[in-house]
Amino acid sequence: MPRIACSTLHLTHRPLVDALEHVARLGFTAWELPMRGDGVWQGHVDPARLLDDPDHRAMVRAAAARFPELRCVGAGFEIAHDAPLARESAQFAAACALLRELGASGIGIFLFDGQPVASRERHAALRAIATAHGLELSVETHLGTATQDPARARGLAAELDLRLCVDFSHWVGQGIEPDAFGDLIPRAAHIQVRGCAAGAVEQGVDDEAQVAALARRVRACTPAGYAGWYAIEYIDRARDWDRSIARCREAIGRAATGRGEAARS
């Protein structure tokens, strides 16, 4: 059976303990933690506060301890794109240490063109930190970053030997379907899933046709023999995504059994 987690990204307007209660109520046994700093996006953990505020780390530990049935499987990490590497590395190390305490196995980052530190140096430094903490580093495929199109991602993957967090919605939303980036799928260390379509990086999954389409995309974006996690991740904090999350889980299950292909006919 596929391993499926739920991100708390769309619940970051609520305290982490409330978000985890919601995730548990939806029937999940795993979750993904958004770690964001410098105001780039609202997250449940601010990496800078992990260094400076013991109460912040204690809050995360206490929230997680309330739900022993839930495992944190990983996190997305982002701070200001122009942050000095020394500052980013210190915050990243604190984030990795916390993730290992929570039982996570991976952490994702973004690569941006024009950062003050070259992609090769920055990626190597952060990968070394993640590895030292027993975590696998992946680079997310995301609009507004250096991986926002498959051609650019292909070049970076070869240059830096990337493992990818495949959030295929950012390519599908541009009208790029999986057959255009299938050669990158074997690099998937982590797969993020939500409803999407050409012109819509994020949409609800409300009917059979949308479930079937999502199942086919998930299947096409899953490497042979994949044993990693799928994380369902929605963004909009103003919308109730519960029904769509349930249908996303259904689509992932179909993809794992091949029923996504059958549903096309």
Residues 248-259 pLDDT 10s:
999 999 999 985
Share of the chain above pLDDT 70, in %: 97
Q: What residue segments make up the domains of the chain, in order of their start? A: 3-262
Long-range contacts of 43-47 (CB under 8 A, 24+ apart): 43/9, 43/12, 43/78, 44/8, 44/12, 44/16, 44/19, 45/16, 45/75, 45/95, 45/98, 47/77, 47/79, 47/91, 47/92, 47/94, 47/95
pLDDT digits (tens, 9 = 90+) for 224-235: 999 999 999 999
Share of the chain above pLDDT 90, in %: 94
Record: fold of 3-262 = TIM Barrel (3.20.20)
pTM check: above 0.85:
yes
Q: What's the average model confidence in pLDDT over 169-187?
A: 98
